[in-house]
Structure 1
């Protein structure tokens, strides 16, 4: 008998198991994968996410794997150009994009070191209920004998296509259609700083260094162009770099060498899913999923996993009813993530609204506000502060922005 069973052992599940085990709770975390193993991901961890790893005593271990630091970021939206970096967050002055084969194995190992039991290769087929409450899981390792594990609380940390969400009937209550598809792979032979470039024609590419001297290169286009893209994946991939930043396209053609197969991401719609019920909760992409454009998946998983761990501990320790405590986690997550969700869904359309065009165009003319922009991206400045009408009015005045283009209130 466990206190909590966590389904999914990647960047939400293992940290949750680790934090609860450190509090003295008996935790089982299961995953149908074995580790190390890969998964589709942007890899990017913002300063706010690295701050959580630092507080948990894990960041130094990640850095020691040789993942290259990034301290200069370049963003462009057609003819709007922004480059720089955020002010330090909790003393963190860089960001990283580790391979998931590396990051997830570290997180699984830290969960074990904390005292959690980790069962790899286990596929959940059923949530066990007692009197309407989740009370355990049923499943098997491979083709082995069916097993049942019991606990008074079950958490689904098993991604956007969550089995747990399906089995408990967790409905989606907010949804915004996904706009684009993504293709990415890993390339050697490049010496580029971080690039996040959106060009005319509603297309985008991103590039950032990761392990083993490689860069992750990713491209995005609108979904209605997927068939055209697939007709010549290599050519279409190269074309996007050529059209957005020709000099980088030329360097990619001359020096870039693809090291692995292309991976496609055709994401489901952006959503919030009911994430708490009698004896169960959802965390990470299982409960709240958004487009990869802003790279906030891992960071949000780490942030709100910590919130859920705190609330579960309150309930498991008897300080308050566990369902009441976990319901508060959902309220906190929804309130704090709303700005990131809305910004991501809007700019992932690959064409800026007049509001965002005005704000980002003015921002590019102000070194001080550019730093604030990167603070917004990094998680050090809230959207409420960055987009506050009074602050935008000051920005427009500072850069002498055309009066007829000033927009201070989001539509």
Structure 2
């Protein structure tokens, strides 16, 4: 994609799965990541050091106020024009044979929030998920089904919240997918995380619904998005002053090189916005290292935020050693987009003590954190978790 194409394409771009593209990494980063993954599998890493590595204390991470200035939280309920246009285009093409649209995306893309806003803007019915305990018991849930009654279109933001990986916990979504296939529920939209969708397409290989997905952010669109969050200002590398997000105007670059940081960030995060954003925030610094000064040609009305080199970026890693309970817990959390201890026991078959020990270990490693539904994988930890589950032979998502 050219720079002009990246600027013109919407940041919340909905595409078919065959149009989805994983951001490419630099050759050096690909080799380094492969070597690092191999080393971590054959020896125990220096895990959870009490003190940062030498030299890191010379860099000044941003304060909370500065983070709000340079990297505020993404707002997935605004700027949805391109997102909504793609949904409308899909409905025009497919609604005659499939009145319910499916949007599938990885975690940390803001999909559920965007769909909730679509429902609010269009005054469509928002389908609330059922209680997890009732799902586990396989109850009939007539009151939940009553939400679909009437002619008004409806939106179910997250399918992963409507089932549990237990014998009785699969019943509701089986019936839901069957009712949608039979055209019994009228017009609607279903959002589903990519891990849950992978599970159901493996369980029901005959599932052939047309789906849309959010396009991954390549390095150009990622830079455009991160710069948009910050508004004014510029981002430059601490070590040599290279541009991290280059100015749009060629003269403003003043001949300075552009760093490969964003290309590496896009590849490591797999183009997932909140994963990239979380790592980006940890990479920002309030001032450069001692030998780097503010360029004399910088606009006096602009300020500069400095970014450490990719080689200095710290991301969570899996605890040392082999542990199937950790893998079971992580996979369950991703399938259902967050679970509490009781639901984890039900879906993994682990004893309460094993669940508590696994959660403590993963939390200490910053791979999971508290969540409105109990616990969930952290954005910074997601790449390591996905890579670990893939190495352990779990069915990972296709994103």
TM-score, scaled to structure 2: 0.28
The structure with the largest helix share of the pair is: 2
TM-score, scaled to structure 1: 0.27
The structure with the largest strand share of the pair is: 1
